[in-house]
Structure 1
């Protein structure tokens, strides 16, 4: 089969690799009909997440048709259409029973590596380094899905791939980011990052009743998309984020702050950002936490910081004294996808939200290496890339962001 494989920093190739096979009784094999490039994939592309090996198959946002099931899998049958969450969960361990699926205690098959990196291993993740199990990802024609009697979300007839694909990651990630804020009707919510997760966090915050949402970015297409949804927008390259937020909140600061950026925050001209880049270059720091610093500083006392943005290692010069003295609550974590999918699928079916609005590029799987670069550089108005195995290379579709 064909798959997008990691060969080093900024080196993704479309290779021919062996087809996956059933390895455990609860497995399933899924023929991928749609997959996507996620902002988190760029952390691998840029070489900031450890534990990648040459030839690893990329991708953790995918869906398709079940073509084979293991003998113990009684939930799925051949022909079922499913979205596969990026977090692999067993459904039986203590954390899964509590609904904490992203920290499943059984699915990370390389637990020793995860323990060394994080103190305790997290769940296994598709296509996201050997720290999280080294599972082949979904930017491929076929995928082996472990614990497939628990993890996949069955999709009813009548919904397109584009409507439901993002149930596997970015829609529930944006939703969880907003839910973690415990949003009240009087809240002003500030969101750093207007990429796909930020777009869903914005719409989730509004659905959950926020009085006002402010979105911070620098990319015109992203800011326009956020403004069209009802957000107040701040272009951080042309205006002071701190001053604008203080003005908007009459000096009180936003009640809730959401970091949809993660470890590769950009802040041209800011001293701390330049220092972070220098420290990264000489391995004195792994992540660039400019957004976290800004949130800790500007958030209203007794507010909440929600962090869906991915961080991989060591951060420097965080103003933790500000967070402690202001009594801020910090909530983080990979998304407990299966906790939210039933509700979100019903909202899609009811027409309350159509996640397809975020797609700007639909391309062939073989176009993937080039599209990583387009997405990375935010060229051609690119906000979200969907890849279609089986689509002829070069015969894609670009949709103007609205």
Structure 2
């Protein structure tokens, strides 16, 4: 089959690899019909290269048709149309029963002290072959895949794999009061969807922050206010001016490790990416420094007693935190990867009938799998209005 294979920093290729097969009775194999390109994939393209191995298959946002199932997958049959969560969880351990599927005790990568395995995402998360491919082996298929109806185009359900539950959890963790205010820093796919969900759930004021014209335009068209970072020297002050001078009730950091405005963090990420793997891995894993400007801005911006919800991915281990500010302002902080299955029952009904979240037109680009290297380059450079790219095997 054809698959997107990692070979080094900014070097992904479409190559012929072995077809996946059933290895365990709880496995399934699906024929991938759509696979999203995620902002988290760009971390592998750029800053998390020390934890990658040449030959790794990328991608973690799949949808497709079931081809084959193991003997212990009773609820799926060949021909079923499914969307697959990005994390691999068993559904029956203590953590899964708590709705913390991203901490699944069955698939935790204990060797590296990490949580549940993820598709296509570094040795830290199990180096499980990913979904930017023609076929995908799905472990724990008795629990993970979500059957969806035939008929609508893939985009109606594809984003259940990651974008929708990640944004839904970010808004839930933000705990916006009824008719309250929330600012979203970073308007890529997750931040954009956070704005849509917050508006749908009745937030009184939603303010998006970014510096890319297309992203700002999209949230404005959905009813949010938008602030262009290029026009504001002090974005926190600008947001406070829009919220009676006190700051929003909640702020969502949807940027993470690759925020603009942190030369020192960028330098450390670049150095780690240039070193040989055996030297870079401990540097990145033990003394890594993120570009923290988005999180610092969120902490500055939020009102006293407010909440900061962090869904952007951070990878450093030596990041200085402004503890006095957090203590003095009584800020509540919520972090974490989305527990996809936890939120599916809340989201799925919104995909039936009217397209209230705009998922049908959410993707800006649909590209054949063969053009994936171009897609990564375009998405990394934020070129051609790229906000969300869907790959079609």
TM-score range, shorter chain: over 0.9
Partners of 1:345 and 1:321 in 2: CA distance: 41
State the partner residue of 1:263.
Answer: 257
Deviations 1:254-307 (A, max 9, x none): 11000111100013xxxxx12322343445643111111111122111110101
Partners of 1:364 and 1:383 in 2: CA distance: 17
TM-score by length of 2: 0.93
* 1:243 Cα deviation from its structure 2 partner: 2.1
State the partner residue of 1:73.
Answer: 73
Given that 1:89 and 1:123 are in contact with CA atoms closer than 8 Å, whether structure 2 keeps it comes out as: yes
Deviations 1:379-402 (A, max 9, x none): 11111111111xxxxxxxxxxxxx
- Structure 2 SS opposite 1:87: coil
Deviations 1:58-82 (A, max 9, x none): 0000110000000111110000000
1:44 aligns with 2:37: no
Given that 1:5 and 1:58 are in contact with CA atoms closer than 8 Å, whether structure 2 keeps it comes out as: yes
Partners of 1:274 and 1:51 in 2: CA distance: 22
- Structure 1 SS opposite 2:380: helix
Partners of 1:154 and 1:66 in 2: CA distance: 10
Change (3 A) 1:162 1:186: closer
State the partner residue of 1:140.
Answer: 133
Deviations 1:1-56 (A, max 9, x none): 00001101100000110000101001000000000110000000013354211000
Pick one of 221, 228, 231 that aligns with 1:235: 228
Partners of 1:366 and 1:286 in 2: CA distance: 34
State the partner residue of 1:187.
Answer: 180
* 1:315 Cα deviation from its structure 2 partner: 4.5
RMSD: 1.3
1:276 aligns with 2:280: no
Partners of 2:86 and 2:165 in 1: CA distance: 11
Paired residue total: 377
State the partner residue of 2:246.
Answer: 252
TM-score by length of 1: 0.91
Given that 1:292 and 1:318 are in contact with CA atoms closer than 8 Å, whether structure 2 keeps it comes out as: no
Unaligned runs of 5+ in 2: 273-286
* 1:183 Cα deviation from its structure 2 partner: 1.7
Change (3 A) 1:312 1:327: same
Q: How does 1:2-401 map to 2 (within 5 A)?
A: 2-48=2-48, 50-108=50-108, 110-113=109-112, 115=113, 121-239=114-232, 240-267=234-261, 273-282=262-271, 285-351=288-354, 352-389=356-393
